[in-house]
Amino acid sequence: MDYKNAGVDIEAGYRSVELMKQYVAKTARSEVMGGIGGFAGAFSLGAIKNMEKPVLISGTDGVGTKIKLAFLLDKHDTVGIDCVAMCVNDIACVGAEPLFFLDYIACGRNIPEKIAMIVKGVSEGCVQAGCALVGGETAEHPGLMPEEEYDLAGFAVGVVDEKDMTDPSCIGAGDVLVGIASSGVHSNGFSLVRKVFTMNRDTLIRYNNELGQPLGEALLTPTKIYVKALKAVRDGGVKIKGCSHITGGGFYENIPRMFPEGIGARIKKDSYEVPAIFKLIQKTGGIDEHVMYNTYNMGIGMVLAVAPDEADACIKLLKEAGENAYIIGETVSGAKEAVLC
């Protein structure tokens, strides 16, 4: 009897590390010290020494049950983007620059080629966010997880000068809410998605006329990473007073999170076109509109609060950064809540 016969293949682990090295290398920043394979990732903080009051900002998250679609379609090179996005978008909300990322993959059996594809996606997410992938862990759990399944989570650290952090106290009634378009469902609400649609390969690969693409392709579209777009707005001189990443809880939970007490939001539903995937989910599942806006991003992945006289400049900078953006509402005096009209 040995470890391999017990279900853990150490050699496969070595092979996974070798295969992923090419993807990790693509994320390297000048601050990264050492290479993959050590006991810990090292990242120099020399570049932030000129900040007046540097503040470290951290975030951790996973992909959730969206990963079940990756199993069904045997497509594993995009869920890593989702994992990075869920962490770095939160960090960017407070004005911070993501510095580095670590991933954690738990699997029933280590299949090196599959693990490498997962890390390829993580690497692409890090490239999009401008952060380094400095380490991670692949844990083989025979007997605990089915051999063909895995789970993916991650952790990111960023930095911001305290004076540059978003400050909710700056938000007052009459500020403009700018919504930045999402790429689709992102990584929230998939437990409901999997109840709405028949979850088998045939359903997912079949072309859907309403979507203009197969359902599975639409659902697996990776979460948009907004780090560079938000930086473009700030570098362009627009002050982002508040920022909400629209994740689980949709509009109703996430938008008020950026407000001080006594300030709420009035959102105009007709200010942009809701993407077809959300209309299909609602129609197929017979889902109430309130539930949709309380579960999904409904086509808006990030909401910014800016001064009225900077709204047009904000939209312009976002479009120059390659994003679709819309004025979707305004802040109002009253309860700390989002009202859709």
Residue type present at position 296: Y
* In a domain? residue 130: yes
Average pLDDT score over the chain: 93
On the question of pLDDT at 72 being above 80, the answer is yes
Same domain, 217 and 315: yes
Contact of 339 with 199, CB cutoff 8 Å: no
Residue 79 and residue 69 in contact, taking contact as beta carbons nearer than 8 Å = no
| Same domain, yes or no: 325 and 269 | yes
- Give the residue from 164, 186, 220 where a domain finishes: 164
Note whether 311 and 278 are same-domain residues. yes
pLDDT in tens, 167-191: 989 999 999 999 999 999 999 999 9
Residue 84 lies in a domain: yes
Q: In this structure, is residue 3 part of a structural domain?
A: no
Report the CATH number at residue 260: 3.90.650.10
Rounded to whole angstroms, the Cα distance separating 60 from 63 reads 11
Query: Does residue 2 form part of some domain?
Result: no
Q: Are 181 and 298 in contact (CB under 8 A)?
A: no
Residue 105 to residue 151: CA distance in whole angstroms: 6
Residue type for position 265: A
Cβ atoms of residues 302 and 243 within 8 Å: yes
Do both 114 and 200 map to the same domain? no
16/140 same-domain check: yes
pLDDT in tens, 225-235: 999 999 999 99
Query: Is 181 within 8 Å of 300 (Cβ atoms)?
Result: yes
The answer to whether position 1 is within a domain reads: no
**Nearest of 246, 275, 184, 276 to residue 221 by alpha carbon:** 184
Are 194 and 303 in a shared domain? yes
Share of residues in the chain with pLDDT > 70 (%): 94
Asked whether residue 273 falls in the same domain as residue 305, the answer is yes
Find tokens 């994003």 and name the residue. 323
Dihedral sign computed on CA atoms, order 63, 69, 71, 75: negative
Length of the chain: 341
DSSP class of 337? S
Q: What is the pLDDT of residue 39?
A: 76
Tell me the CATH number at 158: 3.30.1330.10
Domain final residue, candidates 100, 135, 164: 164
Domain shared by 128 and 274, yes or no: no
| 336/208 same-domain check | yes
In sequence order, the 6+-apart residues with CB closer than 8 A to the CB of 175 are 241, 305, 306, 307, 308, 330, 331
Predicted local distance difference test score (pLDDT) of residue 1: 56
Buried residues in 194-207 as b, exposed as e (16+ CB within 10 A): bebbeeeeeebeee
Question: 237-265 pLDDT, tens per residue?
Answer: 999 999 999 999 999 999 999 999 999 99
Contact by Cβ (8 Å): 142, 70? no
Domain identity same for 159 and 184: no
Per-residue confidence band for 2, with pLDDT thresholds at 50, 70 and 90: very low
The total number of structural domains that make up the chain? 2
pTM of the model: 0.93
Same domain flag for 33 and 145: yes
pLDDT tens digits, 113-128: 999 999 999 999 999 9
Supply the range of the domain harboring residue 302.
Answer: 168-340
**Residues 202 and 308 both lie in one domain:** yes
Q: Kindly state whether residue 243 falls inside one of the protein's structural domains.
A: yes
Q: Per-residue pLDDT tens for 73-97?
A: 999 999 999 999 999 999 999 999 9
Domain closes at, from 124, 143, 164: 164
Looking at residue 40, its pLDDT comes to 81
